[in-house]
Amino acid sequence: MSRTAQPKQVEIRLNPRGSQKRPKPVLRFSLASFLGVLILNILISPFVDRLQSGSLIEATLMTLVLLFAVLSIAGGQRALVGVVLVAPAAVGEWLNFWRPELLIYVMTRGAGLLFIGFVVIQLLRFIVYAPRVDSEVLCAAVAGYLLSGLAWSLAYALLGRLDPNSFVFTLGPKSDQSMNGFTGLYFSFITLTTVGYGDIIPSSGAARMLVIVEAMFGMFYVALLIARLVSLYPSTSPAEAVNGEQIENKKRIASQNSQTSSNTPEE
């Protein structure tokens, strides 16, 4: 009496949102909140420079930006590195407010540049590894752009403090001829967007080098970012993609079951 072995049923579970698994999140805090703090800092900066307590407000805004930035980094080693980098920058902001000495200023701005560079890298990493475009990816893209402009404003302010002849001001009173505060932020963003009104001219070699690097970074950032976002945008809707993968999955199961039945010997 012959027995026919029953073919094994092959089951393949498909992720309802597609076969591509989303990588572990790089960010843990709401990027919309971080982006809101960045925009608030830019909008308020031109109005606090002339206030008597402008330095206090500027230090508070910068501390908020640093804290929200470190909260946007995922847990584990990245959070530890972020805390190590942000601690001297945040503490230095208040030390510079109470004791505006050159050494404290240089250490504060240097620590701030290192931390902001680290956060920008994490934002770009989040965009690169994102499987699809959503609100978090868009907020990360805008926040990375604004944060880059803020980083270069710190670099210009530091250079202007070390070498006051690095920049030439063609307009405005002499009291405003400093790269601190909103002036550095303004020059940074008109350079990042390659506008350049000619009211502030870099005169030293270091200043011109920073301007060249920022202008090239701004152009490549926008071009590569748009290319990446377009590549992430699906040509079909998520529902159509899931249905198509489910149909292919059923065909694969039927093909494997038929091959198993044809290859099973009779006893």
Radius of gyration, CA atoms only, the chain: 27
- Confidence tier at 51 by pLDDT (50, 70, 90): confident
* pTM of the predicted model as reported, rounded to 2 decimal places: 0.73
Q: Which pLDDT value is given to residue 236?
A: 47
Bridge partners of 201, per DSSP, are 168
Please give the residue that has the higher pLDDT: either 261 or 190: 190
Q: What are phi and psi of 44, to 5 degrees?
A: -85, -25
Query: pLDDT for 166-223, tens place per residue?
Result: 999 988 766 667 888 888 999 999 999 988 888 899 999 999 999 999 999 999 999 9
Q: Give the per-residue pLDDT at 250.
A: 67
**267/46: higher pLDDT:** 46
Rounded Cα distance, 192 and 151, in Å: 11
pLDDT band of 230, cuts 50, 70, 90: confident
Is residue 134 predicted with pLDDT exceeding 80? yes
pLDDT at 152 over 90: yes
Share of the chain above pLDDT 70, in %: 73
